[in-house]
Structure 1
Amino acid sequence: MNRFLSHAVNRIDAKGRVSVPSLFRSVLSARNVRELYCFQDFVFPAVSAGGPELLDRFEGQTNGGDPFSPDANRMSLLIHGGGVFMKLDPEGRLMVTDFIRSFTGITTDVMFVGRSDYFQLWEPAAFQEMQAAARAQVRDRGLT
């Protein structure tokens, strides 16, 4: 498997760490990702995480233009000012820092959500609510 699929909930331990689901760790290993680029999602109350190529993709979208343009400055605020690099510990756990907690509202449990080439960290109830709303919108519009 080379994509992040499905979702899973894991509890934060007493030291503030959470185990990344084994299926997600397998994808990270297959992609040889040693350091995660994490950023505060542009739309949802979630932190998105992927390999350094995720940051490269965003920077590629802004390169080539005027780096001081209003659009480039806004994007930099999101991808640089709203991003950090994080590492998993040897047991495959991620520290749930204030960077994650304050943006997502996560307290005791983390919902890991696959998004193809990256995954997200959500407060479980917020994810369930957002997924139900997305399902309703797709249903109401009809599948195409």
Structure 2
Amino acid sequence: PGSFIEGCGPAFSEIVDQMLDRLDPFAPERQSLAAVLIGESAELTFDSDGRVILPETLRNLAGISDEATFVGMGQRFQIWEPKAYDAYYAKALEDAQKYRDLLRSPSAPANPGTGGTR
């Protein structure tokens, strides 16, 4: 897929910190994950009209110039160059058709078909 900027609010950022804190602080896996998940992060600011200001380095990484596509994803969000997102979305739509059976109602039993009771 194309490059994009991934963001989140403070609550999800705390979850990421907690996941990293479970790893050995000197393990190479933790170092790599922290470098990618935290080391290149930036706190976004807003202008006087309430628009987000993307740092130039992030815009360059995602290939964003004049326009961007914002995609809400629950506790996270992504910001894409519009044509790159259109291409990604076409593939995601195709894949989602294959994955739809993974979604279950929150009230559905955890293991459907087992016939067990709680």
2:43 counterpart SS class: strand
RMSD: 1.9
Structure 1, unaligned stretches of length 5 or more? 1-42
TM-score by length of 2: 0.75
Counterpart among 58, 73, 86 of residue 115 in structure 1:
73
Q: Which has the higher helix share?
A: 2
Matched length: 101
Rg: which structure is higher? 2
Shift in alpha-carbon separation, 1:86–1:142, aligned structure 2, 3 A: closer
Q: Could you give the per-residue CA deviations for residues 58-103 of structure 1, whole angstroms, max 9, x where no partner exists?
A: 1110113311101111111112222111221232112232222121
1:64 — aligned with what? 22
Structure 2 residue 41 is the aligned partner of structure 1 residue 83: yes
Question: Residue 48 of structure 1: CA displacement?
Answer: 1.7
Q: How far apart, in 1, do the equivalents of 2:46 and 2:90 lie? A: 30
Q: Which has the higher strand share?
A: 1
Structure 2, unaligned stretches of length 5 or more? 102-118
Q: Identity, % of aligned pairs? A: 24
TM-score by length of 1: 0.62
